[in-house]
Structure 1
């Protein structure tokens, strides 16, 4: 079975750290997203590391290579364990990020879970695009450019796993109990369905 990463989707650091402290040793790996990081900055990462927690910094970086590499280098110095960036940023950006990553593992964002095939048709100008195939194609690029893994919805995770080696990380967002609102996410799954027979991180 893979790891479970707890999303700290809070607007303030004190709320996030209250949950971390309540979970105690039951929670070892936490995701800090754009909202919380914008509000608190590196201090929230440091607070988690001071508690002995692993940190997944989900910033989905996408910029020119030097800018992304600089951001990745700072994240690595903070002790971030996982950091996200967009695969569509291209080869130069991905390779610059990889060279700056140190011990931080980079995860390439494939297609956001809020997007459907209809969205891809409009945005990418393709007729009847297959989300599974597009995610797989991007995962292949991530592996080719030495990125450590990808973020892919539970609907595409098994297909990605069949295309890449066992050391390649597959992190699946959009995991929610049955009956809970999907909010703006379209490609979601329950925890049991997401883990299934494959080892992955959710």
Structure 2
């Protein structure tokens, strides 16, 4: 997966933020051909989602495991090697230098792409200060983006509000994956740094992660299709 060769339909990543595999499977069925790329996080992952990830891979879907790994280097490396053997496409780790280096070693020559999480999109400057950081969000994102480039990971996870600045740091080869995406007029929910789909692409994002506006819609397929149509206006 290179950023310049990603078709529009694969730039939308549907977040399967549901509690059971049965609900996830039903959603994938309802979304149909409007969804080609799916994200599995902790909630579903710890409820049978890893087996379901393999099911999606076998069905020809692309899969993003959003597990944000961070541990001692050996543990991260071995864990990433196990994920690489599953045939999924993307995996997140936290953007700490040792963690990123271990993840790159663990993925080896597989097709797995490692994404570094800079600052969670639910955090703002006040949250960073409370956690003991002296940087503001923009400064910490920039520093971690540079470290990610030096670690040779494949991409960055960050708010689209920081995408343009990140692109200037990491260059044209690395992916920028943006959660916190909300269609025009949608509620922000628990996200504090949100951007519309078209604006995110214009800012330099490559993949857009959308969960609630699709999976909680009365018609998830129509909701996904509407977002794809909004994304198309960014061209």
TM over 0.5, yes or no? Answer: yes
Shift of 1:199: 5.0
Q: 1:178 maps to what in 2? A: 184
Report how far residue 50 of structure 1 moved.
1.7
Q: Distance in 1 between matches of 2:91 and 2:44?
A: 15
Following superposition of structure 1 onto structure 2, how do residues 162-201 of structure 1 map, counting pairs within 5 Å? 162-196=168-202, 198=204, 200-201=206-207
Q: Could you say what the CA RMSD is over the residues aligned between the two structures, in angstroms?
A: 1.6
Structure 2 spans left out of the alignment, 5+ residues: 1-6, 209-235
Deviation track 1:75-127 (CA, whole Å, cap 9, x = no partner) reads 11111100000012x32x3222111112200000000011111111222342x
Aligned-residue offset at 1:164: 1.4
Give 3-state SS (helix, strand or coil) of 2:12's partner: coil
- Structure-to-structure mapping, 1:41-80, within 5 angstroms: 41-80=49-88
Equivalent of 1:136 in 142, 147, 157: 142
Q: Are positions 1:33 and 2:54 aligned together?
A: no
Give CA deviations for 1:165-187 in whole Å, capped at 9, x if unaligned.
21111000010123333222111
Q: Does the C-alpha gap of structure 1 residues 106 and 20 become closer, same or farther in structure 2, counting only changes over 3 Å? A: same
Bigger Cα displacement from structure 2, 133-142 vs 22-31 = 22-31
| Separation in structure 2 between the aligned mates of residue 117 and residue 197 of structure 1, nearest angstrom | 21
TM-score by length of 2: 0.80
Match of 2:112 among 104, 112, 121: 104
- 2:230 aligned partner: none
The equivalent residue for 2:26 is 18
Moved more, 192-201 or 6-15: 192-201
Task: Note if 1:122 corresponds to 2:130.
Answer: yes
Distance 1:110 1:138 in 2: 6
Question: Aligned residue pairs: how many?
Answer: 198
Alpha-carbon distance in structure 2 between the residues aligned to 1:50 and 1:17: 13
Structure 1 stretches of 5 or more lacking a match? none
Partners of 1:31 and 1:144 in 2: CA distance: 26
Displacement over 3 Å in runs of 4+: none
2:156 to 144, 150, 161: 150
Give the Cα separation in 1 of the matches to 2:60 and 2:172: 27
Deviations 1:119-160 (A, max 9, x none): 11222342xx33122101101101101111110001101110
Q: TM-score, normalised by structure 1?
A: 0.92
Larger relative contact order (Cα-Cα within 8 Å, sequence gap ≥ 6)? 2
C-alpha distance in 2, partners of 1:179/1:197? 19
